[in-house]
Chains A and B, each alone.
Chain A
Amino acid sequence: MAAAVQDASTPTFRDIDRSVLRVMEMPGTAYWIWIAFCFSLVGIAAALWTRQIYSGLGVTGLRQPVMWAIYITNFVFWVGIAHSGTLISAILFLFRTRWRTAVYRAAETMTLFAVATAGLFPLIHLGRVWFAYWLLPYPNERFLQPNFRSPLVWDAFAVSTYLTISALFLFMGLIPDVANAREQSKGWRKTFYSILALGWQGTDEQWRHYSMAYLLLAGLATPLVISVHSVVSWDFAMAQLPGWHSTIFAPYFVAGAIFSGVAMVMTLLIPMRKWLHLEDLVTPWHFDNLAKIILLTSLVVSYSYATETFMTWYSGDKIEQMTFHMRYFGPWGYLFWVMVLCNCLIPLLLFSPRIRVNLTALWIISIFVNIGMWLERFVIIAGSLAVNFNPSQWAYYRPSITEIMITVGSFAWFLGLFSLFARLLPIISMTELKEGITWLKKALRKDYAKAA
């Protein structure tokens, strides 16, 4: 246990403040080396993207018939990662779930940066990125407007709405916390937090309107999160390509998004908890509950794989059956089976209560889930395109160094932004932890019982 909580069975409001605000103190050299490393990778990715813009999409591995591959896989992956943040911050808020308080800010931050990362990929994928604004409806001389029947236009609306609402939700939640940080900091930080806090003083009038606005934002974000990944799935399901054209895609993608998102929350939170000494606030009780969500969504995803296979067989559609045969046993078949291992089999370990509180095991499982969910998107997107209606066109895709490094750069971009946020702003909500302090005390006592 960290020293901040003297008697861990009875943490006070001050203990919570101390533990969270300590994280926001000036970080050491190792932190800045990490940030420099992340943004160097982003720089390499940016240079390669610049080269791609200059030379054209020929520098990628995209060739007919596989014109959607790693870039779109990354887009779907990062949008999916974003979903658990809204699940934890909005949906579990509406259900008044006690354990969300310690983890929701990190999940929400992850959401914002994951959507910001995802939003780059449709742009990176464009051959002529300077025409990206053609997606927007604006008055023009030839009366050309976006086609509102196209899922790609729905996607532009859904993802931009999601980015805006996630940013507003995160900002709203931060206001009371930065007001608290303002009172306990000095120098430029005090000025920075003063501006962000908007003069918040926690009066009854402020709380009355704040609580209502926050509740309604959560209410709006809840169906939004379901809609966004449904719309993303329709990018594929609306096309008449075997392997894509399926009615199961929307719920299947939403479950997969939450599955991968919660896994990413764990991937980030477990090392962060250790490095930032947050053991007294983020307890195994929280991870136990996150693990249960991973287990549930893993079962839903496994069921979806089975249903998809059954529907293909039951439809009697030879072309669809061939697509799935190639998916399971074709040249990329091994990717499918690695995906099954990561998404369906390894998460079954979480049925064990002991594994659900073993943070090392959880972290390893979460990495497998991340790999599995990335592969799932790749297998669906590139795999289905490679084996289309006409066997004479069949061709498999090989990624170029440009695509690989831009993918690596996207992870560095996401991790760099998240790391900057974690040391600059409260990565754990002090206000909500205080609100549910009774439950935190119970969680800590439960830990002690387990440790004993």
Chain B
Amino acid sequence: MSGSVEIVGSFADEIGCAHGIEKLREVKAIGVRVFSPIPSHRIEHAIGKPKSRVRAFVLTGGILGIITALALTIGTSWEWNLDAGGKPVVSWPPFIIIMFELMVLFGGISAVLSFLVHARVPAFEIAEGYSSRFSEDRFGVVVRCEPADSAQVESILRDAGAEEVVRAAAWPRADGNAVVS
């Protein structure tokens, strides 16, 4: 999208922000990025992206934990094959506890790792249009569009209740120390 511009709309609340996003989707605007100081179902619903793939990774991690626990408990029982009064060497019921604990451990670690990978953190660059206020008390909508469409985008954002609507180039960015660099 050569020659495109980025318009930033700043909202005081999530309702206006979500409304603006819905209107932008109606005109099939692409390249919409939202900044928010809080997680918002309303905004998530307005953006309409599919559910996070983190779920699949957590499930995989959990299953891997169970398999690891099985391998550990059964493998070590076989390694020192001690017959205690004719009892089974692989007495599996108590192993369920180890399976459960490792399922939770591997699932939890997978949740955090897959979050880091999918959300692309640590982030070493400031996203276009970010302002420190979007970590504090304002909601931001950044729209990348052709210069010819910028007037329409600006009008949609204003109508939705944006307090400020400016070009990203004119937007007061956070300083360079704001993210890991």
Where the two chains meet, the residues of A that have a C-beta atom closer than 8 Å to any C-beta of B are 12-14, 17, 137, 143-146, 148-149, 153-154, 157-158, 160-161, 164-165, 168-169, 171-172, 175-176, 179-180, 182-184, 190-191, 194-195, 197-213, 216-217, 220-221, 223-224, 227, 231, 431-432, 434-435
Contact = CB atoms under 8 A, between A and B. Distances in A.
| Contact-residue bracket for chain B | 35 or more
A148 B54 contact: no
Contacts of A197: 179-180
B123 A154 contact: no
B172 to A, nearest CB: 12
A221 B10 CA distance: 37
B38 to A, nearest CB: 5
Interface in B40-97: 40, 43-44, 47, 49, 51-55, 58, 62, 72-73, 76-77, 79-80, 91, 94-95, 97
Interface of B: 33-40, 43-44, 47, 49, 51-55, 58, 62, 72-73, 76-77, 79-80, 91, 94-95, 97-98, 100-102, 104-105, 107-109, 111-112, 114-116, 118-127, 130, 132, 134-137, 174, 177-181
Contacts of A12: 137
B119 to A, nearest CB: 4
B108 A212 contact: no
B94 A223 contact: no
| Residue among A154, A201, A210 with the highest chain B CB neighbour number at 10 A | A201
A290 B47 CA distance: 37
B21 to A, nearest CB: 9
Contact of A172 (B53, B80, B115, B179): B115
Contacts of A169: 108
Given A183-B136, A198-B123, A200-B121, A213 B38 contact: no
B52 A201 contact: no
Contacts of B34: 203-204
Q: Can you list the 10 inter-chain pairs with the closest CB atoms, starting with the nearest?
A: A199-B123, A13-B137, A145-B76, A213-B115, A212-B52, A199-B179, A183-B132, A204-B34, A209-B118, A198-B122
B135 A157 contact: no
Given A145-B76, A198-B121, A207-B43, 19 more contacts: A17-B137, A154-B98, A157-B101, A164-B109, A172-B115, A183-B132, A183-B136, A191-B177, A194-B180, A199-B123, A201-B35, A206-B120, A208-B49, A209-B53, A211-B39, A212-B115, A227-B101, A431-B37, A432-B38
Given A199-B124, A216-B54, A231-B97, A204 B33 contact: yes
27 contacts: A13-B37, A137-B76, A144-B80, A145-B80, A148-B72, A148-B77, A149-B94, A154-B94, A175-B121, A183-B132, A184-B132, A190-B177, A191-B177, A195-B180, A198-B121, A199-B121, A199-B124, A199-B179, A202-B35, A203-B127, A204-B47, A205-B119, A209-B114, A210-B39, A212-B54, A213-B111, A432-B38
Nearest to A15: B137
A190 B178 CA distance: 8
B44 A434 contact: no
A213 B54 contact: yes
A13 B108 CA distance: 31
B123 A157 contact: no
A198 B101 CA distance: 28
Contact of B91 (A149, A195, A203, A231): A149
Contacts of A160: 105
A151 to B, nearest CB: 9
Nearest to A213: B115
A445 to B, nearest CB: 20
A145 B62 CA distance: 24
A143 B80 contact: yes
| Residue among B47, B111, B177 with the highest chain A CB neighbour number at 10 A | B111
A198 B104 CA distance: 25
A209 B126 contact: no
B72 A212 contact: no
Given A148-B77, A183-B136, A216 B111 contact: yes
Contacts of B36: 202, 204, 207
Nearest to B137: A13
Nearest to A217: B111
Contacts of B177: 190-191, 194
Contacts of A220: 58, 62, 104, 107-108, 111
Contacts of A172: 112, 115
A182 B111 CA distance: 25
A208 B123 CA distance: 16
Contacts of B178: 182-183, 194
A203 B35 contact: yes
| Residue among B51, B77, B118, B126 with the highest chain A CB neighbour number at 10 A | B118
A169 B43 CA distance: 24
A179 B98 contact: no
Nearest to A238: B94
Contacts of B49: 204, 208
Contacts of B123: 198-201
Nearest to A435: B38
A231 B37 CA distance: 39
A180 B135 contact: yes
Contacts of A175: 121
B144 to A, nearest CB: 14
Contact of A204 (B44, B76, B100, B180): B44
Given A17-B137, A148-B98, A213-B112, A201 B179 contact: yes
A231 B109 CA distance: 21
